[in-house]
Amino acid sequence: MERTLILFKPDAVQRRLCGRLLSRFEDKGLKLVGMKLMRISPELAAQHYEAHKERPFYKGLVEFMTSAPVVALVFEGSRAVSVARKMMGATFGFDAESGTIRGDFGISNQFNLIHGSDSAESAAREVDLFFKPEELQEYGVCDEAWLADE
């Protein structure tokens, strides 16, 4: 099973969308194994977004991500990274297809509600940034056999 990090960004928390967004991932069949409401420190934001450090939007992104609480989640499931990315939709809400999170809830290019790991390697790194191993839960679910055919 693959894991992915999902962040409900400050705009999702401020707009009180967390419950609706969480239910989409659970409805899809991904298993929640970690969750916390937190404030991202400037240091954590710098680590998380280090790949964008030289980009012109970096400073504003760090400021935005540290401006209010986020919800950090870890989901587990078959092809969790690609499933979550597809559910999120295109980066900019005005480009995102209806039926995706960004397509249904956003039109901004600056405030795009959600972050998801872009690869299994990124997911492993990001999960380790946001969660200690003891904060992640191992458990079975009754519908597991019905959700994956791998």
**Boundaries of every domain in the chain:** 2-133
Contacts of 150 (CB under 8 A, 6+ apart): 78
- Angle (CA) 137 91 121, round 5°: 45
Three-state DSSP class for residue 119: coil
pLDDT tens digits in sequence order for the chain, 150 residues long: 899 999 999 999 999 999 999 999 999 999 999 999 999 999 999 999 998 999 998 999 999 999 999 999 999 999 999 999 999 999 999 999 999 999 999 988 889 999 999 999 999 999 999 999 999 999 999 888 888 776
What pLDDT is recorded for position 146? 84
Q: What is the CATH number of domain 2-133?
A: 3.30.70.141
- Entry pTM: 0.94
The answer to whether 48 is a known catalytic residue is no
Q: Which of 62, 115, 123, 127 is catalytic?
A: 115
